[in-house]
Amino acid sequence: MIAYQRINLLAILLCITIQTYAQLEIAENLEINIQKIYPSFSVDQDEISGLKVISDLNPHFKTEWIKEYYTVQFSAEVKGQMRYAKSKNNIITEEQRSLLNNVDHESKVNISIDYLPDNNLSHNEAKNFSFDAIVEPHRHAKFGTKEADMKKYLNKTIDISKLKQVYKPHAVAVVKFTVNSTGLVTDIQLVESTSSKEVDDMLTQAICNMPDWTPAKYRDGTLTSQDLVLTVGDHNSCTMNLFNIRKDGKPYLAE
């Protein structure tokens, strides 16, 4: 449970995460962010060369579970045909890395691990650990031409004084949307309300009225859509865990 903290309404922190953080300090424990939604397990195209072990793709995988590996198999569609790359341990091979580099855009890569658990059971049976990963594009969707553009836009379209009137400690309002392959903002959904229809409408309209973005792009030039969220409120709230927003310190929407 997140500890309750005294809220100082002398300022609101406006924090827009585009490449690096652009901030306008107005209050404590209230942030406005636009962030990319990531699949549960994903890797950017430019990160593939740095992958070394399975836990680089899925931090929930633990080598201490394993007494003996039987098969570690990567499988994915490449040019419409299913391809496989196998190994005998958790070290990612060049063949597996090549499959990740060449997987069809927006297709899932399945990683399946057959192993003998490391335990003290008298009857130790083989187990399987399996998950899907997505290869993210080389360049993520971008708003405007410089970092300050998003901050300027939200300052113009969101009335901070109205937010202060309805803000509740530990609450987060969320508007989900998609930047499609042509840069248009589509599929706008109010996911979490501020409890004020007027403010909800203001946040939704701020997204609806956005100018076109530069869409996400793979290394070969293929353009693709990406899902994002506008989050308003206490970003230490448990509600934030409902969205796959990266917490690894990397800048969101980075070039």
Q: What is the pLDDT of residue 25?
A: 39
Task: Identify whether residues 62 and 145 lie together within a single domain.
Answer: no
84: its two tokens: 């496989």
pLDDT score of 18: 32
pLDDT of residue 147: 78
d(Cα 17, Cα 151) in Å, to the nearest integer?
9
Pair (94, 170) in one structural domain: no
Residues in the chain, overall count: 255
Q: Are residues 203 and 86 in the same domain?
A: no
- Quick one: 113 and 150 in the same domain? no
Q: Which amino acid is at 4?
A: Y
| Same-domain pairing of 125 and 146 | no
Cβ atoms within 10 Å, residue 20: 11
Query: Which of 109, 136, 163 marks a domain boundary?
Result: 136
Domain end call among 81, 105, 136: 136
Q: Among residues 102, 136, 170, which one ends one of the domains?
A: 136
Statement to judge: residues 167 and 206 lie in one domain: yes
CA distance 40 to 132: 8
Range of the domain at 102: 42-136
Direct distance between the N- and C-terminal alpha carbons of the chain, in angstroms, rounded to an integer: 35
Judge if pTM exceeds 0.95: no
Judgement on whether residues 159 and 219 belong to the same structural domain of the protein? yes
Regions of the chain where pLDDT drops below 70 = 1-29, 235-255
